[in-house]
Amino acid sequence: MNKKIIVIYISKTGFTQQYAYDIAVDLHAEMVSWDRFDFDMIKQFDVVIFGSRIVAGQIDKINAIKFYVKDNPDIDFILYVTGAAPDTATKEIDKIWKENLTFMNETLPHFYLQSGLKYDQMNIIERNLVKAFAKFLKMKPHQKEETLKQAELMSDSFDHSSIEKTVPLIDYVKELTDSN
């Protein structure tokens, strides 16, 4: 069966959009930004991949995503989020999943795709908050070396996104669509 797939993304600095593009191309899926998608049309799709970003430990638009997931049980939903934390920060990433996916008992298929920071794409409030957090991490006593490296990295814009990071998500969707 040929399943109809769409990637709906929320992107502030371009990382989530780039990943949405990479995923859509590989899966031959439609792609649209959150603010341009007509959610009355969601039932036209068999698989909906939501792409969002992490902001201060919260997944952007998670409450709206919860609504669509609960309201459409016949659709396979998948979530990916982008963030500046390294892939190796599994403890922090697991905490984000636990705090944001309680509505699905964390069963909503979800993927973390490391991206980076683009200070020139952030508004002044976000930019100042991230820089203040990086400074806080540097000043906090008895920090792990990994935390200090992350704080130093957050001092400037950086890009650690990579198309290879999409492979587990794409493989999951291909397995899902091939098995049904």
What is the tens place of the pLDDT at every residue in 90-106?
A: 888 999 999 898 876 66
For the segment 127-140, the average pLDDT, to the nearest whole number, is 73
- List, for residues 11-55, the tens digit of each pLDDT value: 988 999 999 999 999 999 999 999 999 988 999 999 999 999 998
The CB-based long-range contact list for 32-40 (8 Å cut-off, 24+ gap) reads 32/6, 32/7, 32/8, 33/8, 33/9, 34/8, 34/9, 34/10, 34/61, 37/6, 37/8, 39/68
- What is the model's pLDDT at position 122? 75
Decide the pairing of beta strands 158-159 and 116-117: antiparallel
Query: How high is the pLDDT of residue 156?
Result: 73
Give whichever of 108-117, 119-128, 134-143, 156-165 has the largest mean pLDDT: 108-117
Which run of H or of E encompasses 27? helix 15-27
Flag whether pLDDT at 180 surpasses 60: no
**How large is the average pLDDT for residues 65-82?**
93
> How would residue 174 be classed by pLDDT, with cut points 50, 70 and 90?
very high
Average pLDDT, the chain: 87
- Helix or strand or coil: residue 18? helix
For domain 5-118+158-179, the question of CATH label 2.40.160.10 is answered with no
C-alpha–C-alpha distance, residues 140 and 148, integer Å: 9
Length of the chain: 180
pLDDT at 147 over 90: no
Q: Evaluate if residue 76 carries a pLDDT over 90.
A: yes
| Tokens encoding 72 | 């459409």
Contact (CB, 8 A) for 173 and 47: yes
Whether pTM > 0.75 for this model: the answer is yes
Please give the biggest Cα pair distance in the chain: 57
- How does residue 129 score in pLDDT terms, banded at 50, 70 and 90? confident
User: What's the pLDDT band for 1 if we cut at 50, 70, 90?
Assistant: low
